[in-house]
Amino acid sequence: MTKVISFISRKGGTGKTTNAINLASVLHSQKRKVLLIETDTNYTVNSLRQLELFKSKSDVANYFHLVASEDEVVAKEIQKLVKNGDYDYIIVDSAGKTTDNGIKELTLTSDLILITTSLNQNDLLVTYQTVQDLKLAQQINSKLKLLVIPNRINSLTSKRTIKHALDELKVDVIDDFVPNRKTFYKASTLRVEKRYKPVAKHIVEYLNK
């Protein structure tokens, strides 16, 4: 059965896109059928894929599927894709907003929403507001799960410190974090980032529990 995982936040720049790419790459490397849908109208992921394919002379068939869409229609497209059952996972990299009607519809078609955040005060405030917006969706979609991914965290930061910083969000937090390293600022749609594998594992385990 197809699982729908959506990256949603009130604003851009929180790491949704790089995490979406890394998650898709890891799941694909594990022989899962993966589709990544990008709804940001800049379509940076699709442009990145085309550039990487051109430089590497690689065959697109060897990598996870990638398509462009828009927030206003993506929920209806997902419903059709889930019905067809061609994918194990559909991952959505949405634009930076939560109050848009298209995003509201997306929350009702998702199994899991991932919210990426750093530990700086501004990002934590945005994340708190995002969580509050999305908890309203859980009242309609009782199966919807919310999970926060600590992103761009200093590698020396303890899990206890991360937990303390995110406790006030009153939402589940992944038992890992994405370190503040250059490789995570510019993800590749062709290359699997090995450091992301534990994060992907925790995400799948949380989704399936």
- pLDDT tens-digit profile of 161-209? 999 999 989 999 999 999 998 878 788 999 999 999 999 999 999 999 8
pTM for this predicted structure: 0.95
What are the tokens at 157? 């930061």
Q: How many Å apart are CA 149 and CA 20, to the nearest integer?
A: 11
Number of domains comprising the chain: 1
Q: How many Å apart are CA 114 and CA 19, to the nearest integer?
A: 9
CB-based contact 127:117 (threshold 8 Å):
yes
- pLDDT tens-digit profile of 114-171? 999 999 999 999 999 999 999 888 989 889 999 999 999 998 999 899 999 999 899 9
Here the CATH number for the domain that contains residue 125 is 3.40.50.300
* Rg from Cα positions in the chain: 16
Query: Domain limits at 33?
Result: 3-208
Strand 3-9 to strand 65-68: parallel, antiparallel, or no bridges (unpaired)? unpaired
Q: How many Å apart are CA 106 and CA 112, to the nearest integer?
A: 11
- pLDDT tens-digit profile of 20-75? 999 999 999 999 999 999 998 777 899 999 999 999 999 999 999 999 999 899 99
